[in-house]
Structure 1
Amino acid sequence: MLETSARLLELLSLLQLKRDWTSTELAGRLDVSTRTVRADIGKLRSLGYPVDARRGVAGGYRLAAGTAMPPLLLDDDEAVAVAVGLSAVAAQRLGVEETSLTALAKLEQVLPSRLRRRVEAVREATSVVPGAGPPLDLSVLGAVAAAIRGRERLRFGYTKRGGDQEARHTEPQRLVNWETLWYLLAWDLDRDDWRVFRVDRMVPHAPTGARFRPRVIPQDNVVEFVVGRISKGAWKYRARVLMRAPAAEIAAKIHIPVDIEVVDESTCQVEVGSDDPDRLALWMTQLDVDIEVIDGDELAVAFDRLATRLLRAAGDGPRDSSR
């Protein structure tokens, strides 16, 4: 006969099979009396598991949906399937990436080594159509997510933009996914300031085990704070442009934090920037508003190059719209 704790786990596993069990069936599976089954059902209910009891010939016990999510028991195949599924969701960038990573970090923390090897085997045998961004290393993301969840200081090697490498010691706060890249917002202990790191340039070291208390982030909106740091900090070329559209309309079209200055009801000035003025010029044409470069020679020249290419594509001159 199973001990009480082991018997409760076995009972819970049976109830999770999504079917009704009579007390006689459960007693037979657990090798106990129906009275013991009823007592064990009461213990599960006291632990927060909503077990319904239906009377009659077709009745029995069934695990129902409750108001809170109780712990679940997964067999080996189910645990592997959940881990692989969470990895796939994180890689697809469907809007629940960070939640998927934290759930994956919790699961992998308790997976036996034999199951971790199975999960890794599936990952290694799976190919993904490459996108514009660097490969998504889920092991690094998982390590970072686990440090954030556990409020544990994180040491890692970091490759800077120029290729130089350095060691960083941080208190990781949040992961932010923007377009094809992941970023970590962390308090840099060596520089005593907030820093944003590209996760694809990180190589986490062994867990430190040192805990920390979360700090107050300087801005209420974490995403805006991180994106603002990323965009403005990475600009190699800057320009100020006059946009012949209301400031509210421009703010709705530009999905990154930029400085917008109202000129009048139908005009505003915007400070923009980029590493590539040609890409910036092309992007600004997609805003579908009239633009005038006030300050920024590189952007003005880029617009001139773009205009030349577009005229050449159109046949070096305007065409009759009726043709």
Structure 2
Amino acid sequence: MEDERGTTERVLTLLGLLQQRAVWTGPELGERLGVTPRTIRRDVERLRALGYPVQASNGVGGGYQLGPGHDMPPLLLDDEEAIATAVSLLAGAGSGEAALRALTKLDRVLPTRLRHEVSALSGSVVAFDGSRAPIDPDVLMTLARACRDEVELGFEYPSSGSMPRRVEPYRLVASGRRWYLLAYDLDRDDWRTFRVDRMTGVSARSWRFRPREAPDAAAYVQENIASRVYRHQARFLVHAPAPVVRSQIPASAAVVRERGRSRCEVLSGAGDLDFLLMHVVVLGHAFEVIEPVELGERCRVLADRLLGAAGHLSQLAD
């Protein structure tokens, strides 16, 4: 009677081989696994029974190949492949949340013996153009695990002085060069946004929490970093389609909301009202001030100033 454990290990090895190369012949697989072509055919049937779309073809260039299926099958990675994949994802984590989601899935199954190698190698990867804010990969992974496992976090943050923050982490959000954490601050009893590169002494606690009803993470963080942190906030009605305006303004600088096919609302913030106004002026579209009221007065002041400058040029030309 065939050993069940040996059969399982062989079938998993066969799956790994099929994921490595487009086509394998039966004799090639038999030689790799040390079994007969008949056993290979039985193992292929076992994979098909598990839902893996293994295709077989005859003739020159024929053989076994893993075809596309409705769902992606689990990937089988050897040590070197797992390390390379984790390091690549860590290096590219600044490019978006998809890389981090994939990394947290890999982290769940990555053997402890490989973690040190991944950490050491990831520290050797840098971006030559300085386009990414420097973030400790270990910190990013600690935050991702805490979000995934629903455990409390503790850390130091510049705005809180010497008082450590205690939070329930909800989501990591990527915005351009930076990563932000949306979390529920237990001491302030409210949702807060934290820049990951400003967090120090990050540690996951043993206390698990029950997730609260949370705001949309991406929208909340974008609105927070684009307007709420500034002294002045303003809303404009811009007479241009939202996709056009979004292509002109970084997501970290303003929130753009559709208001029909040819108009949109722009929400932004700054320390100075004139600065806010000029940023909308240079977009090159007609616009109206929704709020605050005092921004309307600044429009008149700046208009008079610009008209005065144009009048001075006219006098020089005469």
- Shift in CA distance, 298/183, structure 1 to aligned 2, threshold 3 Å: farther
Q: Which residue of 2 aligns with 1:156?
A: 154
Q: Normalising by the residue count of structure 1, what TM-score does the alignment of the two structures yield?
A: 0.73
Q: Normalising by the residue count of structure 2, what TM-score does the alignment of the two structures yield?
A: 0.74
Shift of 1:87: 2.4
Q: Check whether the contact 1:173–1:187 (CA below 8 A) recurs between aligned residues.
A: yes
- Shift in CA distance, 321/212, structure 1 to aligned 2, threshold 3 Å: farther
The root-mean-square deviation of aligned C-alpha atoms, in Å, is: 4.3
| Residue of structure 1 aligned with 2:85, choices 46, 68, 82 | 82
Q: Check whether the contact 2:255–2:267 (CA below 8 A) recurs between aligned residues.
A: no
Shift of 1:128: 2.3
| Residue of structure 1 aligned with 2:282, choices 281, 286, 290 | 286
- Shift in CA distance, 282/180, structure 1 to aligned 2, threshold 3 Å: farther
Distance in 2 (CA, whole Å) between partners of 1:39 and 1:251 is 57
Runs of 4+ residues over 6 Å off in structure 1: 258-261, 267-271, 290-293, 297-302, 319-322
String of CA shifts for 1:57-95, please: whole Å, max 9, x gaps: 64322222211111111223322322232223322x3xx
More helix by share: 2
Q: Which residue of 2 aligns with 1:264?
A: none
Aligned runs of 1:104-143 on 2, under 5 Å?
104-113=103-112, 115-129=114-128, 131=130, 134-143=133-142
Among the aligned pairs, what percent are the same residue?
Answer: 40
| Residue of structure 1 aligned with 2:19, choices 16, 20, 33 | 16
Q: Which residue of 2 aligns with 1:172?
A: 169
- Shift in CA distance, 157/303, structure 1 to aligned 2, threshold 3 Å: farther
Specify the SS of the correspondent of 2:92.
helix
| Residue of structure 2 aligned with 1:181, choices 178, 182, 188 | 178
Q: Which residue of 2 aligns with 1:64?
A: 67
Q: How many residues align?
A: 300
Distance in 2 (CA, whole Å) between partners of 1:235 and 1:199 is 19
Specify the SS of the correspondent of 1:3.
helix
Shift of 1:234: 0.8
Q: Which residue of 1 aligns with 2:313?
A: 318
Distance in 1 (CA, whole Å) between partners of 2:315 and 2:132 is 41
Q: Check whether the contact 2:139–2:202 (CA below 8 A) recurs between aligned residues.
A: no
Distance in 1 (CA, whole Å) between partners of 2:81 and 2:264 is 56
Q: Check whether the contact 1:22–1:60 (CA below 8 A) recurs between aligned residues.
A: yes
Distance in 2 (CA, whole Å) between partners of 1:156 and 1:298 is 46
The answer as to 2:99 corresponding to 1:100 is yes
Q: Which residue of 1 aligns with 2:58?
A: 55
**Unmatched runs of 5 consecutive residues or more in structure 2:** none
- Shift in CA distance, 239/69, structure 1 to aligned 2, threshold 3 Å: closer
